[in-house]
Amino acid sequence: MRHFKSGTFDRTRVPKHLQRFSPVEALHALEEVDLDVLYAAGKRLLLLDVDNTLLPWKSEEIPQSTFDWLARARELGFDLCILSNTRNPERLTRLCEKLGVDFIRDKFKPSPKMYFLALGKYGVDESEAVMIGDQLMTDIWGANRAGIDAIWVKPIGAREFVGTKYLSRNVERVIGRLLHNYFQADGLDIDVKPGFFRHEVVQQILKFGVVGAIATAVDIGIHSYLMFGATVNGVLLHDVVGRWVIERFGLDWPLDRSHLLEAAYAPLKFGPVMLAILVSYLLNRWFTFQVTHEKANLKQAGQFYAVALVGMLISITVGTVGQRLAQMNETFNFLAGSGLGMMAGFIWNFTGQRLWTFRKK
């Protein structure tokens, strides 16, 4: 696992959608787990995974370092319990006899049932237990579901179940890299400047761009349909709307296809933009600015829509002018106007939403 990094996680900074996978600490080996620190913190029950945590997968050769670590844990007064959903209970029984550790075998992790059974068996609460395992998607997630702190250790060996190796580990690799951004700074590296892409504002711009792309797909997809596909009583909608705009506002424009498209552009843009704003608000609140720990309220929503509506006017104005000035074919004119409008709207919207709507308290 070349992507594995050791460190202590600042879980107060971990986004809500990642907290379920976040351990309190990541270490390169079981023997790096500081038992004295755990005991001083009030931990009394150590819950342990087996394969690739205590010994290599499918092996029955237990490293001496594991025996030594377990002996030290017993010396300090810890209770020890292995949690396993193995389909080979005979092997598990043999291993536990060698290790001198009891076990609980039940539903597949990340089900919290085994964790709760262990708490009841040893008469401790969640704050007195800690889980130690090598997999985020099972050991760590299950512990978090039970309200138990978890320590993530690097797998002892590269051999493991095919589903774990090619599915779980790939998901874990992505989540692990995201979690590494939330290591707790210590006195040695707290002043080290982050890389360009680690700056909060840069990450927010990138995320805002992703959300913008999704909202834009909603906007352009629906707008394109209204402009070029929708009909009313067999007549293209842009013809109906464009004719109404030209006649209603007394524009001295010929009623050809090009001018009807230009006249219909802004009115038919309004509905798609309003829907795209709603999508953007929900995604930016959860993903970009990560304020889901605060309850949504009408004031925040009102601020978001105020900024977005001004951005919509900027986008429509710049888009309409851009489409008018392009002077190419109708498809190019439409795309050029939309692109320029989106760029202007993006700059306005990101600045307004970051500094006003989702401003840090």
1 found inside a domain:
no
C-alpha dist (Å) from residue 16 to 24, 31, 106, 194, 284: 15, 30, 28, 22, 14
Q: Does 184 share its domain with 220?
A: no
Dihedral (C-alpha) 63, 69, 71, 72: value to the nearest 10 degrees? 160
Structure tokens at 248: 């209603």
What are the residues whose beta carbons fall under 8 Å from the beta carbon of 220, sequence distance 6 or more? 272, 338
Please tell me the predicted confidence (pLDDT) of residue 197: 59
| Percentage with pLDDT > 90 across the chain | 48
218 found inside a domain:
yes
Interatomic CA distance for residues 61 and 46, integer angstroms: 22
What mean pLDDT value characterizes the chain? 87
335 found inside a domain:
yes
pLDDT digits (tens, 9 = 90+) for 269-283: 889 988 888 898 889
pLDDT digits (tens, 9 = 90+) for 39-96: 999 999 999 999 999 999 989 999 999 999 999 999 999 999 999 988 899 999 999 9
2 found inside a domain:
no
Domain boundary among 192, 215, 239: 192
Kind of pairing between the strands at 149-153 and 25-27: parallel
Query: If pLDDT is split at 50, 70 and 90, which confidence band does 299 have?
Result: confident
Tell me which long-range contacts 197-204 makes (C-beta under 8 A, separation of at least 24).
201/354, 204/288, 204/289, 204/350, 204/354
Please tell me the predicted confidence (pLDDT) of residue 115: 96
| Percentage with pLDDT > 70 across the chain | 93
Q: Does 223 share its domain with 183?
A: no
Reference 13, options 212, 209, 198; nearest CA is 198
Please tell me the predicted confidence (pLDDT) of residue 53: 95
Please tell me the predicted confidence (pLDDT) of residue 2: 61
Least confident of 121-135, 145-159, 336-350: 336-350
Least confident of 164-178, 284-298, 305-319: 284-298
Q: Region 317-329: what's the mean pLDDT?
A: 78
Q: Region 102-120: what's the mean pLDDT?
A: 92
Domain boundary among 168, 192, 216: 192
232 found inside a domain:
yes
292 found inside a domain:
yes
Please tell me the predicted confidence (pLDDT) of residue 178: 85
Q: Does 110 share its domain with 235?
A: no
Q: Does 158 share its domain with 211?
A: no
Q: Does 163 share its domain with 222?
A: no
Q: Does 249 share its domain with 350?
A: yes
116 found inside a domain:
yes
Q: Does 182 share its domain with 38?
A: yes
Query: If pLDDT is split at 50, 70 and 90, which confidence band does 148 have?
Result: very high
Which residue type occupies 100? Answer: G
Dihedral (C-alpha) 302, 308, 314, 319: value to the nearest 10 degrees? -140
Which residue segment(s) compose the domain that 201 sits in? Answer: 197-357
Q: Does 335 share its domain with 306?
A: yes
pLDDT at residue 144 tops 70: yes
Number of domains in the chain: 2
Please tell me the predicted confidence (pLDDT) of residue 152: 96
pLDDT digits (tens, 9 = 90+) for 186-214: 544 444 445 555 667 788 888 988 998 89
Q: Does 349 share its domain with 221?
A: yes
Query: If pLDDT is split at 50, 70 and 90, which confidence band does 185 have?
Result: low
pLDDT at residue 8 tops 70: yes
Interatomic CA distance for residues 230 and 349, integer angstroms: 29
86 found inside a domain:
yes
Please tell me the predicted confidence (pLDDT) of residue 190: 42
Domain boundary among 171, 192, 213: 192
Interatomic CA distance for residues 245 and 174, integer angstroms: 51
Bridge partners (DSSP) of residue 129 are 45
Q: Does 188 share its domain with 206?
A: no
Structure tokens at 66: 């594991």
Q: Does 58 share its domain with 168?
A: yes
Q: Does 138 share its domain with 245?
A: no
Q: Region 246-264: what's the mean pLDDT?
A: 90
Q: What is the CATH number of the domain that holds 12?
A: 3.40.50.1000
Structure tokens at 254: 């010929």
Please tell me the predicted confidence (pLDDT) of residue 195: 52
